[in-house]
Amino acid sequence: MGYLAFIIILCAMVVIHEFGHFIVAKLLGISVETFSVGFGPRLFGFRLGETDYRFSAVPLGGYVKFRGENLEMIQGKSEGSIDEFLAHPKWKRFLVAVAGPVFNIATAILIPTVAILIGFQDRIENAQEMVVGRVVAGSAAAAAGLRPGDRILAYNDNEHPTWTDFMLDVRLRPNEEITLRVDRQGQTLTPVVRLQSETIDREQMGTVGIDPYLGFVRVAQVSRETPAARAGLQPGDKIVAVNGEPITAWTQFKEMLRLSQGQPITLQLERAGARQELAATPEPVGGESKDYRLGFYPDLTTYVKTASLGTALRYGLDSNWRILRSTGVFLRQLFSGQRSVRGAVAGPIGIAQATSETYNAAGWAGAVELMGLLSLNLGIFNLLPIPVLDGGVILLILVEGLLGLLGLTLSMQARERFQQVGFVFIILLMGFVIVNDIVRVVERRMGEQPAVQQQNK
């Protein structure tokens, strides 16, 4: 089901993108010969009017083919019809080219906007104000003097951040300094935190050492034949303390289980408004891991809903702006050499795995949220001035306009060479990301094998 979700999401994003080109072209009187989901040979479809709507053999994209595009005119096959693509003025061709990315970006904004209007279970770190629940001993936060209960009002001039905003930036800034504005019982402090770093999948990621304040851990689902089930934990229970120590963060709870080393613990919890205690004995996770578990899934979400269209639209815009800001930091590090291209780029296999994992963890709600992220990236990527992509078409139109001001024209041979360069670039890029995906899969499998063998002993 996870990989089926990937196929559905991929097809949806492609159809949305190509529909943007298609509908604007139709409205402007430009003839559309083909609307294809996928590349390569035609598998099946139907013809309606002048347009062939088809599914093609390679489901890694799609395209809209206009009558009288570059190659036809180069080869002298133009019919001279007024509805051919290049027969139309530059402003029309510009609108058609930019429509696909715009539809993708609009979709990315629309998904969280609609979600908050109808109400949904959002992750706590997206909706909760930044109150520190735990400070890890020896961490960057501890060195800067942060304490549990501190309220983070801003960081690096980013006002009213969410935990998601903050942690995304932290991950992308290993060994950098960030300045916080903190409210501590009415007193405003401005500590400077020197972030630490950790290696994840061979990439350096920043770490700060603080966790959101929860106040309790809510049980979402209890696995059968586990310590949690034997202890009598039930969905909806709120674990407020372990061995008398109040719970402030989920990571704190996991750390308590690890420190128990399999010895019995006492859970203080709330059930239907009443307090009670349960005894449970954590069990090792297995393999080479040193962690322990009780065998339940926590509910780390909160219900979010608004009736205000303006608030919902602001939520959708903020969600996407957060992604764009983090992407900007990431690209800066990529071009400066702080991050490797190999670790930064994922192809269809990597995206399929990420979609499958997201679906398995969060269902269709998580998959649709991921679709918004991918749709935003698809829209931005297609605006890059690379031949074959929409940004390349836009670049040609701008060059054509500038040459026109000088009384010059862009030759068909120049257009052909430009498209050929772009085609070769895209083929090389696809080859690189697919090989990179395969190498990652092999490395992950080889890394998992010793743990599986250890668990089977």
Domains and CATH numbers, the chain: 1-119+308-331+353-414 (no CATH), 127-212 (2.30.42.10), 217-293 (2.30.42.10)
Contact 67, 31 (CB under 8 A): yes
C-alpha angle 436-437-443 in degrees, rounded to nearest 5? 90
Per-residue pLDDT of the chain (457 residues; tens, 9 = 90+): 777 888 888 888 888 998 999 999 989 888 888 888 887 889 899 998 888 999 888 776 678 888 766 544 434 444 445 556 777 888 888 999 999 999 999 999 999 899 889 988 777 777 778 899 889 889 999 999 999 989 999 998 788 888 888 888 888 888 889 999 999 999 999 999 999 988 776 677 889 999 888 888 899 889 888 999 999 999 999 999 999 999 888 888 988 998 998 899 999 999 988 999 999 999 988 766 678 899 998 888 888 888 899 999 998 898 888 888 877 777 777 777 666 666 666 777 778 877 887 777 667 777 788 888 888 988 888 888 887 788 888 888 888 888 888 887 777 777 777 777 878 887 887 787 788 778 777 776 665 544 434 333 3
**pLDDT value, residue 425:** 80
pLDDT of residue 266: 93
Structure tokens at 257: 């289980």
Q: Identify whether 18 is a catalytic site residue.
A: yes
Backbone phi, psi, residue 178, to 5° = -130, 145
Residue 124's nearest CA partner among 278, 249, 264 is 249
Which of 18, 72, 84, 125 is an active site residue?
18
Amino acid at position 453, single letter: Q
Give the model's pLDDT for residue 76: 41
* CA-to-CA dists, residue 254 to 241, 249, 266, 361, 431, angstroms: 12, 9, 14, 19, 41
Distance CA 352, CA 5 (A): 9
Backbone angles phi, psi at 274, to 5 degrees: -110, 145
Distance CA 378, CA 311 (A): 26
Contact 278, 267 (CB under 8 A): yes
170: how many CB neighbours lie within 10 A of its CB?
A: 22
Say what the pLDDT of residue 78 is.
Answer: 43
Cα gap 226→232, rounded to integer Å: 10
Report strand pairing: 301-304 vs 151-155: unpaired
What does the pLDDT read at residue 60?
65
Task: Find tokens 């408004």 and name the residue.
Answer: 273
pLDDT score of 289 = 65
